[in-house]
Structure 1
Amino acid sequence: MAVKRSSATEFFLYYNSMTCLVKGLEGDYTTVDFRDESCVSGKIVHVDGFMNIEMENCYYYNSRGRKYPFESFFVKARNVRYIHIPQDKDVLTIIENQLSTFRQPKQAVRKKLTYKEKRAKNYQKELLLNLSK
């Protein structure tokens, strides 16, 4: 899954918070506990850089324990208290995989040398040739 980078803030939060861990759980079934003592269990479909979570095929459990089925469910980041990590998942490998897949190597940009740079480079070559003799 690719990260949709809609803003620089979202990109920053993705790399500098635990959002990458939750992003690594996309496609897995898990439980998200809310601040108001309720929770939702289902499949994580999408996580954005702010840790807003879209889920599908889920059940919402209110604070009294009543169960309500939902086809899709959106969780705003500010309401999240805990996210249960499945036991078969290794947290460290999820984070490493997420960070490595979105790390893009910088490509060297070849610039045209100025007259001064060319002259200095040629002088350096001549100097090295004279020293090696």
Structure 2
Amino acid sequence: MHSGQDKFNIFNSLTGIVAGLEGEYTTIDLRNEAIVTGKIESVDGQMNINMEDVTFYDARGIKQSFEKFYVKARTIRHVHIPKNFSPEELFSRQEKKIFKKKEVKGKRTFKEIRAKRNNAETIKEAFKKD
């Protein structure tokens, strides 16, 4: 379960895109030139990642397998997004997962509309093709 601060960080930064990959297999490049490939179990608001069924390759290419693996946010260089997902889809997937119990019927408030528009603009700007 996510705390209020985690929810804020997920929806106001690109952490929401990584959190949308929960339950999917992906590759993470670490700052020490190591590579971690496996299934993302959970992501918190600071982008610390718990993974399972992991293959770890160190900088020399030596391979190790782990059932569970924890990646601290400050060690992450890149998170590879699988080609079959778009950033917008991942973000909305995470949004639905966290707020699934809370269905809003009727009109949305101006604040909700503005937040959704700002999130969409941030995602488009971060992933625009040059």
Determine which of 43, 68, 84 is the counterpart of 1:47.
43
- Aligned residue pairs, count: 103
**Is residue 91 of structure 2 the alignment partner of residue 95 of structure 1?**
yes
* Residue of structure 2 equivalent to 1:18: 14
1:20-53 Cα deviation digits (max 9, x unpaired):
1111111111001101111100011111111110
- Cα distance between partner residues in 2 of 1:102 and 1:72: 23
* Residue of structure 2 equivalent to 1:5: 2
- Cα distance between partner residues in 2 of 1:22 and 1:61: 21
Query: 1:97 Cα shift?
Result: 2.9
Unaligned runs of 5+ in 1: 108-133
Query: 1:101 Cα shift?
Result: 4.7
Query: 1:84 Cα shift?
Result: 0.4
Cα distance change on mapping 1:38 and 1:12 into 2, 3 Å: same
**Is residue 28 of structure 2 the alignment partner of residue 36 of structure 1?**
no
Q: Percent identity?
A: 44
TM-score, normalised with respect to structure 1: 0.69
User: SS at the partner of 1:63?
Assistant: coil
Between 1:96-105 and 1:9-18, the stretch displaced more is: 96-105
User: SS at the partner of 1:17?
Assistant: coil
Unaligned runs of 5+ in 2: 107-130
Query: 1:100 Cα shift?
Result: 4.6
> Pairwise CA RMSD of aligned residues?
1.9
User: Structure 2: which amino acid aligns with 1:34?
Assistant: L
Cα distance change on mapping 1:106 and 1:77 into 2, 3 Å: farther
